[in-house]
Amino acid sequence: MHSAQQYQAEAEQGGFHYGNYGKTGSGTCQLGPVHISGDLKLTGSIGIELQGTVYVDGKIRMSGSSYVVGPSTLVAEGDITVTGSGHLDPDELPVIMSVYGDIQCSGSSETSAVLYAPNAEVELVGSASVYGAVVGYSVGTTGSSVISYPIELRDREDLPCDPHGGSPEILTYTIE
């Protein structure tokens, strides 16, 4: 099981980007591994292809139809917000983690990942959907949000660990 410090060390193997990192418009660019000392902001229909772990000291904001793909992990110390029709669709169901902040997916956003906010709230609003798992200090859904749990997550050992010392409790339920 990984800690935030292990994800940070993985990102720093690729170097540092000092300040905010933002992309807007259309097209696709590659990112990672990298430690970003500010915020990460994606707008428009820009796509990011993850090449390694990305650790963000600030917030991650995705809006419009921006998207993230690739087999790696995104970690932010602050809030993570996915709005509009944006989607996080990385391969292999990576971890999308907010160390201290909230995670919110709203609109018609789609996420294929493990959403993890051990110290805050994960909130799915509108018709947001998650294929993966959602773990938070609290988890809330409104509207027609859907969480689909894939069986391949059951035996994975690379998932984050509880920062308070134990293993997170598993709570399974169906939203109809």
**Residue 80 burial (10 A CB sphere; 0-12, 13-18, 19+):** buried
Q: Residues of the chain with pLDDT > 90: what percent?
A: 43
pLDDT at site 36: 98
Which value, in Å, is the radius of gyration of the alpha carbons in the chain?
15
Q: What is the mean pLDDT of the chain?
A: 84
Q: Average pLDDT for residues 133-139, to the nearest whole number? A: 88
Range with the lowest mean pLDDT among 24-38, 77-91, 108-122, 125-139?
77-91
Look at residue 30 in the predicted model and tell me its pLDDT: 94
Choose between 143 and 151: higher pLDDT.
143
Percent over 70 (pLDDT), the chain: 84
pLDDT at position 4: 87
Confidence of residue 163 (pLDDT cuts 50, 70, 90): low
d(CA 7, CA 157): 14
Most confident of 12-16, 106-110, 135-139, 151-155: 12-16
CB atoms within 10 A of CB 158: 12
CB 123 within 8 A of CB 141: yes
Query: Do residues 161 and 2 make contact, with C-beta atoms less than 8 angstroms apart?
Result: yes
What pLDDT is recorded for position 35?
A: 98
Tokens of 71: 């087999």
- For 87-113, the pLDDT digits (tens) are 666 556 778 899 999 999 988 888 888
Cβ atoms of 84 and 105 within 8 Å: the answer is no
Amino acid identity, position 152 = E
